[in-house]
């Protein structure tokens, strides 16, 4: 059920969640500068990501309050247009296949599908809701058309999760399930990197992941073990990894956000990254918006986690800004006349 009990309670929840967000994002920025000062490195990437999330979240809150249906629809179209018009997302040398920038493309498409589904749950007329869900399905088809199998699977999962969210009566259970799924995904990646899985299972996972990616993960884990508290310093993985040195087109990243944090900023960096995701889930749990909107956004953000566990999607400003934008849209204060939905 929705946790809303009145305007005053809604305001209190917003104050708490906003304060938590400021503290978590601020801690991420400060810790990156501390580790850079102690070990050398380049904290600019983390600082830019923090600004992108904060800016996207603020924009989402403002636009979602003014245009609860049109704003997420525009965000979905913008994400779709960006991946179609600029599939490489950045200029310069491309990492060797199969790493590349496929993860960023899949992440943007998953966020776009989530925005379209959020707009559908906020819409009033049945025909408009159907059209917006058709847009989400079209984004999944587009992902397959541009060759992003991961993106097509992620968009389909988000669409199905959104449809299922309409039958959820207890929002907390849904949010807890999303958090558990994220923890399991990170655990599997750590298990592969740490060689703790049975040989048969490990080989079956290493095939789709590729040997090069697994070597990058194991280098990242070795760096994390060398200095578990501070890590090697932000942006220094490429300088210290043997797998990167052996790949002429490497982008210098381990293609796993939690392992990159562990290698470059230690355990505290990993905990701060988890805290950012936890904060977003908390805001979705506490928002006065209908439960299907909150869980749809949560599903899209969890899909982003899945993609970032095995790729470098969070290295792209468009992705981090998009994640903040979706969270802001799904937690924005909307007009009092917003229609109720099943599961509210």
Q: Give just the sign of the alpha carbon dihedral 249, 109, 327, 159.
A: negative
Chain-centroid distance, C-alpha 166: 22
Q: Give just the sign of the alpha carbon dihedral 270, 275, 280, 282.
A: positive
In a domain, 252, yes or no: yes
Residue whose token pair is 């979240």: 57
**Whole-angstrom Cα distance, residue 330 to residue 56?**
12
In a domain, 339, yes or no: no
> Residue 124 has what pLDDT?
87
User: Closest Cα partner for 304 from 273, 343, 342, 335?
Assistant: 273
Neighbours of 239 (CB within 10 A): 13
Count Cβ atoms within 10 A of the Cβ of residue 191 and give its class: 0-12 exposed, 13-18 middle, 19 or more buried: middle
How much is the average pLDDT of 100-124?
A: 90
Residue whose token pair is 């869900």: 133
In a domain, 99, yes or no: yes
How much is the average pLDDT of 84-104?
A: 54
The answer to whether the predicted template modeling score (pTM) of the entire model surpasses 0.85 is yes
> Residue 236 has what pLDDT?
92
Query: What is the domain extent for residue 205?
Result: 7-331
Q: Phi and psi (nearest 5°) for 127?
A: -65, -40
In a domain, 311, yes or no: yes
pLDDT at position 331 over 70: yes
pLDDT at position 337 over 90: no
Stretch among 21-30, 95-104, 151-160, 318-327 having the lowest mean pLDDT: 95-104
In a domain, 184, yes or no: yes
For the chain, the straight-line distance linking the first and the last C-alpha, in angstroms and rounded, comes to 5
Residue 245: pLDDT band with limits 50, 70, 90: confident
For helices 317-331 and 257-286, the axis angle rounded to 10 degrees is 20
- Nearby residues of 211 by Cβ (< 8 Å), 6 or more positions away: none
**Whole-angstrom Cα distance, residue 106 to residue 90?**
15
**Whole-angstrom Cα distance, residue 189 to residue 310?**
8
> Residue 203 has what pLDDT?
86
> Residue 18 has what pLDDT?
87
Considering the chain, what is the average pLDDT of its residues? 88
In a domain, 340, yes or no: no
In a domain, 342, yes or no: no
Between 208 and 53, the more confident residue is 53
pLDDT digits (tens, 9 = 90+) for 250-277: 778 899 999 999 999 999 999 999 999 9
Using CA atoms, how far residue 271 sits from 39, 277, 327, 336, in Å, is 19, 10, 20, 37
pLDDT digits (tens, 9 = 90+) for 79-93: 999 888 765 554 444
Q: How many domains in the chain?
A: 1
Q: How does DSSP classify residue 235?
A: T
In a domain, 337, yes or no: no
pLDDT at position 148 over 50: yes
- Nearby residues of 24 by Cβ (< 8 Å), 6 or more positions away: 272, 275, 276, 279
How much is the average pLDDT of 18-29?
A: 94
> Residue 12 has what pLDDT?
62
């Amino acid at each position: 059920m929705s946790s809303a009990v009145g305007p005053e309670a809604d305001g209190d929840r917003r104050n708490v969640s906003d304060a938590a967000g400021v503290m978590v994002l601020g801690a991420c920025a400060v810790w990156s500068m501390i580790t850079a000062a102690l070990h050398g490195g380049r904290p600019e990437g983390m600082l830019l990501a923090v600004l992108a999330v904060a800016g996207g979240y603020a924009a989402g809150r403002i636009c979602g309050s003014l245009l609860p249906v049109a704003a997420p629809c525009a965000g979905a179209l913008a994400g779709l247009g960006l991946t179609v018009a600029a599939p490489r997302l950045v200029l310069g040398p491309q990492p060797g296949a199969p790493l590349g920038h496929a993860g960023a493309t899949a992440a943007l498409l998953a966020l776009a599908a989530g925005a379209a589904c959020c707009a559908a749950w906020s819409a009033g007329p049945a025909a408009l809701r159907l059209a917006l869900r058709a847009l989400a399905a079209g984004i999944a088809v587009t992902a397959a058309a541009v060759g992003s199998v991961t993106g097509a699977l992620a968009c389909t999962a988000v669409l199905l999760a959104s449809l299922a969210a309409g039958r959820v009566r207890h929002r907390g259970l849904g949010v807890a399930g999303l958090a558990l799924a994220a923890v399991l995904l990170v655990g599997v990646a750590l298990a592969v990197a740490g060689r703790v899985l049975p040989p048969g299972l490990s080989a079956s996972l290493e095939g789709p992941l590729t040997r090069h990616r697994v070597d990058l993960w194991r280098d990242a884990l070795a760096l994390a073990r060398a200095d578990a508290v501070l890590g090697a310093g932000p942006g220094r993985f490429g300088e210290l990894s043997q797998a990167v040195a052996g790949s002429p087109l490497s982008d210098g990243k381990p293609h796993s956000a939690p392992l990159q944090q562990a290698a470059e900023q230690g355990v505290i960096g990993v905990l701060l990254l988890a805290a950012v995701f936890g904060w977003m889930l908390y805001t979705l749990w506490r928002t006065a918006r209908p439960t299907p909107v909150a869980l749809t956004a949560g599903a899209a953000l969890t899909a982003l986690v899945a993609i970032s566990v095995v790729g470098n999607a969070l290295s792209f400003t468009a992705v981090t800004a998009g994640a903040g934008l979706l969270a802001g849209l799904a937690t924005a204060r909307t007009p009092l006349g917003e229609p109720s939905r099943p599961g509210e």
